[in-house]
Amino acid sequence: MEPKDFFKGDSADLKCPGCRNKFSVAAESLFIPDTVVRCPLCNAEIRLDNREAIDTVQRTLDDLSKLLRKQTTHINLKL
């Protein structure tokens, strides 16, 4: 599972560094490498430097997945 899958349907608030306008974007877009969004007010291009955050979240999800696989209890039923 990818980090962006956890945020489908959610939104994230951003502030334009140029005009300071606050606006919302799809939260899942924050987890797509090298995402570029435009401010709806001044049309400034905003490049999100998100690779490190994506990598960190992905490693955390991978570790959690490994832990859950180890913790899974199997029940054997004899009929």
User: pLDDT tens digits, residue range 49-64?
Assistant: 877 777 887 888 888 8
Concatenate the DSSP letters of all residues of 53-64 into one string. Answer: HHHHHHHHHHHH
* C-alpha closest to that of 36 among 27, 46, 26: 46
Chain segment 17-45, per-residue pLDDT in tens:
999 999 999 888 888 888 899 999 999 99
Tokens of 45: 């291009």
